[in-house]
Structure 1
């Protein structure tokens, strides 16, 4: 039963990574496995017997999610960008209460509001109407391999940090279209260096995050909450004609209450 649960959580996390502006780390927190994943990554070599299961289960789900849904999700977003923007806004906002609870459970003081504001400001500075107009990389050279590897490391940092979208980072780096096409065509010569970079970046970043969560849990979660609230500005698509607006609002409310209920029961 736990395998099935973690597998589908991995699918959900991978789907969120396909959408620019949506963070896989945020979804991991909402689904209640963020801390366990960080701990497992950091202790995989020390305690392989007890830590590999969750990584394998979530990892398999993530791989299946990426290869099965990348084309579907991008097609739906292209066709129904407004409606999907509202849905994902609702999903992100639905997880805010559980993350706020984590931020204040060890510290009721108001001083941590500064970390919330800092997180929002950081994401807003990063935000913008980016469009990946760079040439799609189809062949591997030494320079391309290094660039894709570095891109994978940067994406891993975004994967680990809730509120920072891996897809959005790929857009900024000019690697979004390259990555999506490589996944769609199963071009493993392109996927390999990105994947290696993600592994290295994940191992490096997870250790720092776990230390912060142990030593400064309230401040870290408040900063993460700021990242998440700031990302809503990037995700929210604005307003449209009344017909689409009604459907969009219904999707936003549905996304909010569905995720809020799920997060409360985990």
Structure 2
């Protein structure tokens, strides 16, 4: 999830979906509430830890943080120097994820197809939207944190890409580098607000309308393929937080046959193979 979240256009929620931990993740985050605080004071730390599924959250959070710390530099280098190959790997991964999740939909109906189409169209429109520039103030920072964390949870919608669309990616990264705690505090407050409220809604929907939500979330992943398509023509660029010139607005094009195209196809298969391997491991450990 951490590696996916580093790439603007790929969601960590997609990885949670593939590995079968998505519902448990939402339920665990939802359990961090006032009842859990009461449990802490009435029954002690052990009961509180169990109430919030603390071991799961700590393990997952540690893995995300470890991946961001160790892989961010390498993934950034690959995105700048070998973007087609990086996007090809994630394209194959998401295609296989769509197939995997589509098999989980047990009752296909007109309503389910409508939710699938709605998710695909929504994600495609977001992925192809033109970035804007919001003013930097406390309200926009809280809003950006809320939207980014909600997008990060949803499969197929990237939190970092949402920050790019709002023009908040560079200010937030700059605040991280410069340790601007006033900016980071407002952003974190918005993220916490969005996380605790949005996960409750998603969890409730998954428990009460599982098939429809499964179709909608699968649609989000299908629509994200517009953003993840490896072969693009760059129309405008921007300077990122490292001072590198990176693409800002791009359009998808058909590939020309070359050695790189062959490598991209191999990496697509590798991405799809990773999903199948994760599915196999999930089934094996579930026994």
Shift of 1:86: 0.4
Aligned to 2:244: none
Deviations 1:130-150 (A, max 9, x none): 468x69x9xxxxx63432222
Shift of 1:167: 1.4
What are structure 2's unaligned runs of at least 5 residues? 37-47, 232-254, 283-287
Between the aligned partners of 2:186 and 2:62, the Cα distance in structure 1 is 19
Between the aligned partners of 2:267 and 2:196, the Cα distance in structure 1 is 36
Between the aligned partners of 1:146 and 1:111, the Cα distance in structure 2 is 37
* TM-score calculated relative to the size of structure 1: 0.83
RMSD: 2.2
How many aligned residue pairs are there? Answer: 244
Aligned to 2:21: 33
**Higher helix fraction (1 or 2):** 1
Aligned to 1:8: none
Evaluate the alpha carbon distance shift between residue 254 and residue 156 of structure 1 in structure 2; reply closer, same or farther with a 3 A threshold: same
Conserved? CA contact 1:38–1:210, under 8 Å: yes
Conserved? CA contact 1:15–1:70, under 8 Å: yes
Aligned to 1:168: 161
Conserved? CA contact 1:44–1:52, under 8 Å: no
Aligned to 1:192: 185
Conserved? CA contact 2:111–2:212, under 8 Å: no
Alignment of 1:17 onto 2:5: yes
Corresponding residue to 1:146 among 116, 139, 151: 139
Conserved? CA contact 1:130–1:171, under 8 Å: no
Evaluate the alpha carbon distance shift between residue 187 and residue 122 of structure 1 in structure 2; reply closer, same or farther with a 3 A threshold: same
Aligned to 2:224: 231
Shift of 1:157: 1.2
Shift of 1:31: 1.8
Greater CA radius of gyration, 1 or 2? Answer: 2
* TM-score calculated relative to the size of structure 2: 0.78
Shift of 1:129: 6.4
Conserved? CA contact 2:130–2:165, under 8 Å: yes
Conserved? CA contact 2:94–2:221, under 8 Å: yes
Aligned to 2:61: 59
Deviations 1:185-237 (A, max 9, x none): 26252433322221110101001101110111000010111110000111112
Conserved? CA contact 1:95–1:259, under 8 Å: yes
Aligned to 2:103: 101
Aligned to 2:120: 120
Deviations 1:222-255 (A, max 9, x none): 0111110000111112224511100110000111
What are structure 1's unaligned runs of at least 5 residues? 1-12, 138-142
Tell me which of the two structures has the higher relative contact order, counting C-alpha pairs closer than 8 angstroms and 6 or more residues apart. 1
Evaluate the alpha carbon distance shift between residue 61 and residue 265 of structure 1 in structure 2; reply closer, same or farther with a 3 A threshold: closer
